[in-house]
Amino acid sequence: MPDRRSLVRRARKIDRVLAETYPDARTELDFRTPFELLVATVLSAQTTDKRVNTVTPELFRRYPDAQALASADREDVERIVQPTGFFRAKTESILKLSQALVERYDGEVPGKLEELVTLPGVGRKTANVVLGDAFGIPGITVDTHFGRLARRFGWTTDKDPVKVEHEVGALFPRKDWTRLSHHLIWHGRRVCHARNPACGACTVARWCPSYGEGPTDPEKAAKLVRTEGRA
């Protein structure tokens, strides 16, 4: 394990290079309001952002805010969100979520982590997505991609998302947390896959202690690179 100063320096170098690699990195969920992003993030569990984006236009056209969704017809919502999988459980979550917003916050999405995580179906990951992308409040989103890359880069050895969030957050200025999350998630979706990472096509390979887990030959690695995120 490198000393603290070297770890911080290497971590920030990796993030700078990823920022150059993915200058347009952002959430890949389509949304216009904090409420839309909150619901879309809940729907994104166990499916792709791309699939969520196919159902949310109709969902938000019929139920544009918390008040409308709180009193929505359950079967109609299930029909709309069915393509995202686990549609009954997800319908239950977003209906209860909307009802809680109406009852506790006058239908508005709160802009504080401690309030967001009290809502049905909302954990720290979802809360940090909403804070970072809808409110501009820095947060680290530890999804499966972020956790995997943080461990491969040697920034943490932990698998507990909350511990990963705090350990990685300590390596970076708070203002960079949201962008950092996007950089790692985009890289994880496109290059640094869970199985067979495209090491030979990785822009941060020279600073990665896990280099060689996947093919290092540039041609073989290039075939593994995805042009857009899938999950």
- Residues that are catalytic: 125, 143
Task: Note every long-range contact of 103-110, with CB atoms under 8 Å and residues 24 or more positions apart, other chains counting.
Answer: 107/65, 107/66, 107/67, 108/34, 108/35, 108/66, 109/33, 109/34, 109/35, 109/38, 109/66, 109/134
Amino acid at 175: K
Taking a C-beta distance cutoff of 8 angstroms, is the pair 183, 141 a contact? Answer: no
Within 8 A by CB and 6+ apart from 231, the residues are 47, 48, 49, 189
CA dist 47 and 50 (Å) reads: 8
Torsion, Cα of 12, 145, 217, 209 (10° steps): 50
The Cα 26–Cα 141 span in angstroms is 12
Rounded to whole angstroms, the Cα distance separating 221 from 225 reads 7
DSSP state of 62: H
SS3 153: coil
